[in-house]
Structures are given as C-alpha cells and as structure tokens.
Structure 1
Amino acid sequence: MTRVRTAADPGRVIAAARSWLGTPYHDQASLKGVGCDCLGLARGVWRHVVGEEPFPIPPYSRDWGETGTREVLADGAQQMMIELPVADAGPGALILFRMRTGAIAKHVGILTAPTRFIHAYERLGVIEEPLTSAWRRRITFAFLFPAS
C-alpha cells in the first residue's frame, strides 16, 4: 500500500531557508549562522520544518564532476521527501542540480519563487539569487518537504 504524504507549507520552508541567509560556507556542516554547505542547508531546513533527521549523513565528496550509476543524493531524498516532476517544482521545493554533463546530481537549492532560489555556494555562503537559465537547465530532480 502506498503511503500518501502531505507536503509542508511552502511559506514555512521558504522562511526557514531564508533564516540561513548569510551563513558562511563550510563543507559538510549544518549550523545556522556558523557554517553549512548546500546539503547542510537542506538538512537545517528539514530540522526546522519536519523535525529530527531520520538518519546520519555519511561523508560525501565535494566533486561536482563525480560520475557514477547511482544518484546518491536523489536516492536519499526519495526515501524522505515527496518527489515531483521538475516542471511542477514551485516555491518551497528542494531542487537538485547536475552541474556537469554525465555527472551525478551534487548540488541542492530551495526555490523561493518561480525565478529565485536559495543555496549555499562556496566562497559566498548561503545566498538567494535568480534562477537563471544556466541554473534552470541543470535541475534534474525536485522534491517537497513532507509536513511534520
């Protein structure tokens, strides 16, 4: 039997993500105001919106060009979140990016509007910026945070 899950309120997701703006970039961290990477941002929003993280995140590579047959990040999100077609992603959705052709998805952001998103970016920290065509064409997966 398929379990039906309700999505979290997009406004709550966006407010949680915006509360991380200005947090410095720090690889594999997830501490608001102290440091995080893109996955750490998503983890922090999860904790605020959904609750305790369901499992510890194993160490991962920073290599955006990493190739492989398994979409590790997407597989993890599929276990915990509500997947939707990329074309249906709207404000509050977690989006995964494939940064290089042939690589696996290795970057995440949260849509705040149809044309804007928040993400943690090396040297810039957590920022909100336009979802340009260069970013949009790299989106490969989209998910909704479940309601707590």
Structure 2
Amino acid sequence: MTQETDGRPRVVAEAKTWAGTRYHSCADVKGAGADCAMLLVRAFVDSGLLAPFDPRPYPEDWHLHRSEERYLSYVTDRFVETERPLPGDIAVFRYGRCYSHGALVTKVDPLTIIHAFQPAGCVIEEPLAANLALADPKRPRRFFTLWPRAFE
C-alpha cells in the first residue's frame, strides 16, 4: 500500500479526471459512463492504491428491494471507518433500505465530495452541504479510510 501522504492526493486527482462523465449504471469508462461504485473502484485501482476488483454485476435498483448491505460490504472489506474524514476518504450514504451511494472526499472545509450522482446525470464535485438529498440529517452517512489513524 502506498504511503498516505502520496496516496491521498493521487486518488483525489484520479477521481477528478472523471468529472463530467455521464452517469450510467454499472459502467466504468472515463468520459462515457460511470456510477458511484465504479467511480470509486476506478479511482483507487487506477491510482495504484487497491488491487483490481469488480463488484459487478449488480441490478441498478438492488438497494430498493433488499436489506443486504452489499455496497457497504465492499467498502468494509477494504477500508476502516473514521469519524474525521480527510481528502481521499470515502463517504457512503443510505438510500432505500441500505447504504448504496458512495463518494470520495476531496476537501474538508467545506466538506466537498466527488461522485457519480444519478440526479445530476454525471460525475460532479460539490460541497456536501449543497446537495440537499445527501446533506439531509435524516439520511445516514458514514466515512471510511484506507489509512487508519491511531487514537481516533
């Protein structure tokens, strides 16, 4: 695994190269289509921080019909939960019956994320507070890091 000081900016830079890529479920082709899960996979794999893996296939609406924490399990297999997210960490949000949307933290103040967001139709970077659906206090969210910090 790459050092934290090198890895964080590298994964953020890679994710930003996807900005403007249209939203397309199960896709991971920069400039053509991506969803939130595959954006995170590509950002971490293509920056050399994770070994290649592919969570597909998955139905576009699986999170509406099942309570299985499928998305979250891919995250917790590779990352550890953190209370203080930093750039390069992952935010996951509960949609439907389980956690099923993810984003990459790009900035802390204000907390800014990049994600493939279906309502926006593409990969966008935005302050979390500007996204009323995700910033809603009733929507549970959790943060995860590849670089665990002692005594958090």
Larger RCO (CA within 8 A; separation ≥ 6): 1
- Which deviations, in whole Å up to 9, do the C-alpha atoms of 1:53-108 show, x marking residues without a partner? 1x43232232353441x3111111222x22123x22221111111024xx101111
- Counterpart residue number, 2:45: 47
Query: Alpha-carbon deviation of 1:34?
Result: 1.5
TM-score (norm 2): 0.77
Q: Distance in 1 between matches of 2:25 and 2:133?
A: 24
* Letter aligned with residue 20 of structure 1: W
Aligned partner (choices 11, 32, 42) of residue 13 of structure 1:
11
1:15 is paired with a residue of what secondary structure?
helix
Separation of aligned partners in 1, 2:140 and 2:14: 22
Q: Gapped runs of 5+ residues in structure 1?
A: none
Structure 2 counterpart of 1:95, from 91, 98, 101? 91
* Partners of 1:118 and 1:126 within 8 A in 2: yes
CA RMSD of aligned residues (A): 2.5
TM-score normalized by structure 1?
0.78
Structure 1 residue 19, shift from structure 2 partner: 0.7
Q: 1:52 Cα deviation (Å)? A: 4.2
Among all aligned residue pairs of Structure 1 and Structure 2, give the percentage whose two residues are the same amino acid: 28
Q: Counterparts of 1:66-81 in structure 2 under 5 Å?
A: 66-68=65-67, 70-79=68-77, 81=78
Tell me if the contact between 1:46 and 1:145 (Cα under 8 Å) persists in the aligned partners: no
Q: How many residues align?
A: 137
Runs (5+) with no aligned partner, structure 2: 148-152
- 1:144 corresponds to: 145
Alignment correspondent of 2:99: 105
